[in-house]
Amino acid sequence: KAGVTQTPRYLIKTRGQQVTLSCSPISGHRSVSWYQQTPGQGLQFLFEYFSETQRNKGNFPGRFSGRQFSNSRSEMNVSTLELGDSALYLCASSLTAGVNNEQFFGPGTRLTVL
């Protein structure tokens, strides 16, 4: 079974632009979560989706948004990019949104904002 895939793997943008990152979960998984990883702040939760509904949202500004499609694929969008948005963005999928469900992580998208 294929793992979680994220596209693109690397991205360079300039301040003020917007970006869309994509995540394809493991087949059969219906829950997708997104995390931002930076050297300073570590790993921080962005959002969690289950069956196209956002279940949880982390403490990030409204410039960060996401959605999930009927095939469980998910996208996150960051508008008006800032230098501080440079990070590794990780996506994780699980069978359901249950607390005890193991989350399987993708390789991440490395976003650099210049």
Partner 1 sequence: AQTVTQSQPEMSVQEAETVTLSCTYDTSESDYYLFWYKQPPSRQMILVIRQEAYKQQNATENRFSVNFQKAAKSFSLKISDSQLGDAAMYFCAYRSINTPLVFGKGTRLSVIA
Contacting residue, 23, 81, 87, 92, with partner 1 by CB under 8 A: 92
Cβ 15 to partner 1 shortest distance, Å: 25
Instruction: By CB under 8 A, tell whether 1 contacts partner 1.
Output: no
Q: Residue 94 has which token pair? A: 């699980």
Q: How many CB atoms lie within 10 A of CB 56?
A: 12
Radius of gyration of the chain (CA): 13
Contacting residue, 8, 16, 61, 107, with partner 1 by CB under 8 A: 107
Give the residue with the Cβ less far from partner 1, 66 or 106.
106
DSSP string, 5-55: EEE-SEEEE-TT--EEEEEEPPTT--EEEEEEEETTTEEEEEEEEETTEEE
Give residues in contact with partner 1 (CB under 8 A): 3, 33, 35, 42-45, 48, 56, 58, 88, 90, 92, 99-100, 102-108
